[in-house]
């Protein structure tokens, strides 16, 4: 539980020092993590060790999810401000992608058919 508390504290510190944007989802993750950890401590105090363990795990999941969102937003912020790096999405029409995937599947089916035919021929010779 101390590790979970440390993770929540680190996330809170990083969240409070962000200058580019305060995400409500991260704030919610921090609040939910704190609530779950408090419930875990209450359960431990009442002798419910399994419930305490489960609640501490849930608190860690909230904290880790919030951390991942915070890191993704930091990357997005950094990439958005750089003048030398332009990212653009290259999209193909879905028909071309579907045709390519179907062609790949067809090739794999042909290979499998040849393998099955060879195995059947080998078995009939024995």
Rounded Cα distance between 50 and 33, Å, is 18
pLDDT, position 82: 46
pLDDT, position 95: 83
Question: Would you say 36 and 62 are in contact if contact means Cβ atoms under 8 Å apart?
Answer: yes
Rounded Cα distance between 13 and 101, Å, is 46
pLDDT, position 90: 56
- Kindly list the averaged pLDDT for each block of 10 residues, start to end, along the chain of length 126: 92 86 87 95 94 94 93 80 46 78 94 92 81
Domain boundaries, the chain: 2-81, 92-126
């Amino acid at each position: 539980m101390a590790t979970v508390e440390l993770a929540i504290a680190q996330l809170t510190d990083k969240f409070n020092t962000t200058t580019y944007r305060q995400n409500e989802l991260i704030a919610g993750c921090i609040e939910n993590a704190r609530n779950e950890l408090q419930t875990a401590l209450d359960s431990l105090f009442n002798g419910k060790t399994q419930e305490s363990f489960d609640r501490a795990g849930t608190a860690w999941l909230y904290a880790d999810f919030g951390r991942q969102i915070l890191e993704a937003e930091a990357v997005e912020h950094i990439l958005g401000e750089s003048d030398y790096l332009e990212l653009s999405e290259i999209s193909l029409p879905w028909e071309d992608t579907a045709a390519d995937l179907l062609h790949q599947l067809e090739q794999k089916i042909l290979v499998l058919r040849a393998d099955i035919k060879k195995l059947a021929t080998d078995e009939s010779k024995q």
